[in-house]
């Protein structure tokens, strides 16, 4: 999937992946790919700046951890991040409903 198509949705995707457990950057990328059935292959150059931005605004915290014998920065959702995720999900539902209403085929009426 084109990364331009993800623009505006990256925050929601990242917050969602971190909802149940803290993960390091590469594991986040793998989770996005796995949860999307392989459709999302997001480059590190897109993920890491977004993670740092989400941390700056308080939606994530991070700490260094040893994972598989390597030191990695692990990200965790904050209470603010959980609230932001709830808002993102609500906005997504409104968006998909509106777009679906436009894109769904409508029955033809005779004039």
Cβ neighbours for 75, distance < 8 A, ≥ 6 positions apart: 18, 22, 23, 24, 25, 28, 51, 54, 55, 60, 61, 62
pLDDT at 42: 87
Q: How many helices (H) and strands (E) does the chain have?
A: 5, 3
**DSSP-assigned letter for residue 78:** -
Residue 84 φ then ψ, to 5°: -65, -40
Q: Structural domain boundaries of the chain?
A: 3-91
Instruction: Show pLDDT as tens, one digit a residue, over the chain (111 residues).
Output: 556 667 788 999 999 999 999 999 999 999 999 999 999 888 888 899 999 999 999 999 999 988 788 899 999 999 999 999 999 999 999 999 999 999 998 877 765
Residue 47, classed as helix, strand or coil, is helix
CB 26 within 8 A of CB 33: no
Architecture of domain 3-91: Orthogonal Bundle (1.10)
């Amino acid at each position: 999937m084109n990364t331009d198509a993800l623009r505006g949705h990256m925050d929601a995707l990242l917050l969602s992946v971190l909802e149940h457990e803290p993960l390091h950057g590469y594991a986040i990328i793998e989770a996005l790919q796995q949860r999307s059935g392989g459709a999302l292959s997001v480059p590190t150059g897109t993920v890491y700046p977004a993670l740092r931005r989400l941390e700056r605004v308080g939606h994530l915290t991070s700490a260094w951890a040893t994972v598989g014998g390597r030191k990695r920065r692990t990200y965790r959702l904050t209470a603010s991040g959980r609230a932001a995720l709830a808002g993102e999900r609500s906005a997504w539902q409104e968006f998909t409903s509106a777009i679906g209403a436009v894109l769904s085929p409508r029955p033809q009426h005779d004039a």
